[in-house]
Structure 1
Amino acid sequence: MIKLFTQIGWFVATGCAAALTHWLVAVLCVRELDLAPLLANLAGWLVAFCVSFLGHYHFTFRHQRGPWASAARRFFLVSAMGFGINELAYAYLLHATAVRYDLLLAMILVALAVLTFILGRFWAFRHKS
């Protein structure tokens, strides 16, 4: 049980670092580069993917991690699926609500964290294929 709580702690820490990276890159791309929020969201995800994978591989799922290349491919699929959901929800909600783009992105990033944990734990970083 302690092992699971430790794993959840690392997941939260890594996820927060990746989500903050995603959010900061996206917001800076909008503010400084004048990118559209949906394109800035893509840039944020690409940078945050690196933070997320490295943190989860080396800390969150270190006791169960499989080969690096296999884990990277699987986690990329998990992350890309999450990003697809993120981008669709973000596109819809940007047009359907009056919520600021930066707050909306923060809410979506938090909502997808549970899905990422479950898929990472039981598939992406699992040692056996």
Structure 2
Amino acid sequence: MINRELFWFGVVGVTAMAVHYLLVTRLFVPAGLTPLLANVAGFLLAFVVSYHGHRHQTFRARHVPHRRALPRFFAVACASFAVNEAMYAALLAHTALDYRAALLIVLVTVAALTFLLGKLWAFAGVRPS
């Protein structure tokens, strides 16, 4: 079961990460938002992809009410995003990395935290349907 979960976590995570990355780099920053503000907007839109993908595929928690799973997973996502934003700000301020490379490093690094908290808390105690 863990292999299936890791596979779908990867698929959903890469999809949400691509949505996040492309919105920031192809839409929001070119439209004039600062990279850090664009990152917030990208996170919020990618969250929708992440929540539904993890709920339906990764953790197969369709039977868990949204009123339980959504706030928990949003808390997980927000904690992960807080780490994301702090790391991103540090990389932008203290390295010569391009904002796109820094964002990619941060998104990949924070993914492990999201998986663990999602599995052990947000969708905990659910059995695959």
Superposed counterparts of 1:1-129, under 5 Å: 3-27=1-25, 28-31=27-30, 33-62=31-60, 66-127=64-125
Identity of aligned residues (%): 44
**Whole-Å separation in 1 of the counterparts to 2:92 and 2:61:** 40
Point out 4+ residue stretches in structure 1 off by more than 2 angstroms: 63-66
Relative distance call for 1:39 and 1:24 in structure 2 (3 A) is same
**Whole-Å separation in 1 of the counterparts to 2:62 and 2:52:** 14
The CA RMSD over aligned residues, in Å, is: 1.4
> Does the CA contact (< 8 Å) of 1:79 and 1:116 recur in 2?
yes
> Does the CA contact (< 8 Å) of 1:66 and 1:127 recur in 2?
no
Q: Deviations over 1:18-70 (max 9, x none)?
A: 01111111112001x11100000001000000000000000000158622221
**Whole-Å separation in 1 of the counterparts to 2:43 and 2:24:** 8
> Does the CA contact (< 8 Å) of 2:19 and 2:42 recur in 1?
yes
Which sections of structure 2, spanning at least 5 residues, go unmatched?
A: none
**Whole-Å separation in 1 of the counterparts to 2:20 and 2:42:** 4
**Whole-Å separation in 2 of the counterparts to 1:81 and 1:65:** 25
> Does the CA contact (< 8 Å) of 1:26 and 1:44 recur in 2?
yes
Secondary structure at 1:122 match in 2: helix
Secondary structure at 1:111 match in 2: helix
Secondary structure at 2:97 match in 1: coil
Q: Deviations over 1:66-103 (max 9, x none)?
A: 22221100000000011111111111110100000011
Amino acid at match of 2:83: I
